[in-house]
Amino acid sequence: MKQLFKLSSAWFPVWLITLLMLIMISVYLPVFVGANKNLTNVPLIIVNEDQGTAGDLILLNLKENQNEHSFKWHHAESEKKALKELKNNQGYGALIIPANFSKQISRVDDALLTRNESREPATLKILLNEGIGQSASIIASNVLQTVVTSTSNEVSGNLKIKLKQNRVLLSPENASLLDNPVQFTSENVLGLPVNLNKGMTPFVMIIITSITGMMGANMIRGYLRKAIDSDNGISLSNSKILKSELIFSVILAFGVSSVSQLGVFGFFGSSHSSSILVIFPFSFFCCLTMVFLFKSISLIFGGWGMLVMFPVNIMGIFSSGGPIPLSTLPFVHRLFSYILPTKYMVDGMRALLYYNGRMQAGLGTALWAISIYFIVSLAIIIVFIIYSSKGDKGNATEEEDKIQIPLDNEIHPKE
């Protein structure tokens, strides 16, 4: 026992895992330093249909006051086009400036100067994409409401100057109108039911497939090896073992996909805009891809495979844009979101559950990315199967030669 503690190789897993956990902390902890600090290119839409000048002033204030690095404002030509973009998951939310907004401001101005108490405040419209998840939706709502509040305060300040110059005294009703001359209405454009699980259903389903892939790649091979090594009369070559692993992987992916559909939609009754007959094949494809991906990693790295699988799985979780919007993540996570397949799988599942399976909502890109991972991973496994087959044939030839040696050396009586 004491001799083991003197071996440097015995200490290798201890310090390596400790170092890996330190790296994990330094990578993942910055995710939670604060959403306001990490905001980057939050996709928002603005539509200015105003026929006067008030709408242009809002755009000017946005350009002067909003950080262009934190928010990515996209100008749509009309409310109809903004709705289309939101339904294609191309923005978190939209601010609509109506065509008569300047006239509404003028009416508020006239009502206060003439002490007319029958006027309503000017109104802006906020459209929210509730399918992106609760966190991203809250960010969009807060930003757009801040724009409305800023506009209202500026209009209120200008009105107060006019009223002071004209020495107009206001009634309590008009005083309230003066403090809030611009208000807003808010609308969820997808019209999804309440049971969305805070928009986390796509993320949970894909994380289950990722964990299945990592566990399946390791456990299937381990238990097959254990079954073959036991005294049950089974003897398989390495190539046949790999082929058997592929078959069991397909069965595992089918089983997990079936159970996840039953649990998510049957037991918990989660909302979905696409048919389960469409969601199930995509779920099965994702699960099988993750099993093949982690299997290819284990074949390439051998005993080091788990050290590679673990960061890939965890980084995929944080970089998926599921629990935390990508626009709030540090650069390293946004970079890995384009490299790892998890983000594409979450986007594809979100498009199926909340956006009627529109290709423009992320499903098309997801299918391309997942297909690439599937083909590359399967190709790596096939290469190892071919290589193992050649090795099996070589071993079989050596065994035949060994068997022939004692036969050739037999003693013949006639000789």
Residue 1: how many other CB atoms lie within 10 Å: 4
Q: What was the pLDDT predicted at 407?
A: 44
pLDDT greater than 50 at residue 35: no
- Check whether residue 164 and residue 202 sit in a common domain: no
Q: What was the pLDDT predicted at 215?
A: 87
pLDDT greater than 90 at residue 222: no
Residues 131-148: what's their mean pLDDT?
88
Q: Give exposure, 106-133, as e/b (b: 16+ Cβ within 10 Å).
A: ebbbebbeeeeeebebbebbbbbbbbbb
Q: What was the pLDDT predicted at 16?
A: 66
Angle at 128 between CA 264 and CA 349, to 5 degrees: 30
Q: Output the CA–CA distances (angstroms, integers) from residue 389 to 224, 239, 240, 378, in the order listed.
A: 18, 5, 8, 16
Is 186 in a helix, a strand, or coil? strand
pLDDT digits (tens, 9 = 90+) for 149-158: 988 888 888 8
Assess if residue 7 is contained within a domain: no
Residues 47-74: what's their mean pLDDT?
81
Residues 242-253: what's their mean pLDDT?
88
Assess if residue 23 is contained within a domain: no
Assess if residue 17 is contained within a domain: no
Better-scored residue on pLDDT, 121 or 162: 121
pLDDT greater than 80 at residue 6: no
Q: Of the spans 137-151, 161-175, 260-274, 324-338, which averages the highest pLDDT?
A: 137-151
Least confident segment among 227-236, 237-246, 369-378: 227-236
Residues 12-26: what's their mean pLDDT?
67
Assess if residue 335 is contained within a domain: yes
Query: What's the pLDDT band for 234 if we cut at 50, 70, 90?
Result: low
Query: What's the pLDDT band for 53 if we cut at 50, 70, 90?
Result: confident
pLDDT digits (tens, 9 = 90+) for 104-133: 988 888 877 777 666 788 899 999 998 888
- Check whether residue 235 and residue 381 sit in a common domain: yes
Residue closest to 353 by CA, chosen among 104, 36, 130: 130
Which amino acid is present at 79? Answer: E
- Check whether residue 278 and residue 170 sit in a common domain: no
| Mean of all residue pLDDT scores within the chain | 82
CA distance 181 to 189: 26
Q: How many distinct structural domains can be found in the chain?
A: 2
From 188, 217, 237, the end of a domain falls on 188
Assess if residue 166 is contained within a domain: yes
Structural contact between residues 213 and 183, judged by C-beta atoms closer than 8 angstroms = no
From 165, 188, 211, the end of a domain falls on 188
Assess if residue 1 is contained within a domain: no
pLDDT greater than 60 at residue 415: no
Q: What is the 3 state secondary structure string of 242-294? A: HHHHHHHHHHHHHHHHHHHHHHHHHHCCCCCCCCHHHHHHHHHHHHHHHHHHH
Which domain does 214 fall in, by range? 197-399
Residues 384-409: what's their mean pLDDT?
60
- Check whether residue 220 and residue 176 sit in a common domain: no
- Check whether residue 58 and residue 134 sit in a common domain: yes
Is the dihedral angle over the CA atoms 158, 164, 168, 171 positive or is it negative? positive
DSSP 52: S
Phi/psi at 102 (5° precision): -60, -40
For strands 93-97 and 122-128, give the pairing. Answer: antiparallel
What is the CATH number for 124?
Answer: 3.40.1710.10
CA distance 210 to 256: 11
DSSP 120: P
Least confident segment among 25-29, 43-47, 133-137: 25-29
From 133, 161, 188, the end of a domain falls on 188
Query: What's the pLDDT band for 369 if we cut at 50, 70, 90?
Result: very high
Assess if residue 18 is contained within a domain: no
Query: What's the pLDDT band for 403 if we cut at 50, 70, 90?
Result: very low
Least confident segment among 9-18, 104-113, 338-347: 9-18
- Check whether residue 157 and residue 279 sit in a common domain: no
- Check whether residue 61 and residue 113 sit in a common domain: yes
- Check whether residue 152 and residue 278 sit in a common domain: no
- Check whether residue 138 and residue 230 sit in a common domain: no
- Check whether residue 114 and residue 168 sit in a common domain: yes
CA distance 33 to 15: 28
Assess if residue 175 is contained within a domain: yes
Better-scored residue on pLDDT, 169 or 328: 328
Residues 72-100: what's their mean pLDDT?
91
Better-scored residue on pLDDT, 60 or 102: 102
Structural contact between residues 168 and 178, judged by C-beta atoms closer than 8 angstroms = no
Which amino acid is present at 41? Answer: N
Structural contact between residues 186 and 141, judged by C-beta atoms closer than 8 angstroms = yes
- Check whether residue 166 and residue 226 sit in a common domain: no
- The percent of residues above 90 in pLDDT, for the chain, comes to 30
CA distance 246 to 378: 9
Residue 413's Cβ-side half-sphere holds a number of Cα atoms within 13 Å equal to 0
Structural contact between residues 214 and 256, judged by C-beta atoms closer than 8 angstroms = no
pLDDT greater than 70 at residue 357: yes
Residue 353's Cβ-side half-sphere holds a number of Cα atoms within 13 Å equal to 31
Residue 58: how many other CB atoms lie within 10 Å: 22
- Check whether residue 121 and residue 164 sit in a common domain: yes
Query: What's the pLDDT band for 60 if we cut at 50, 70, 90?
Result: confident
Q: What was the pLDDT predicted at 399?
A: 47
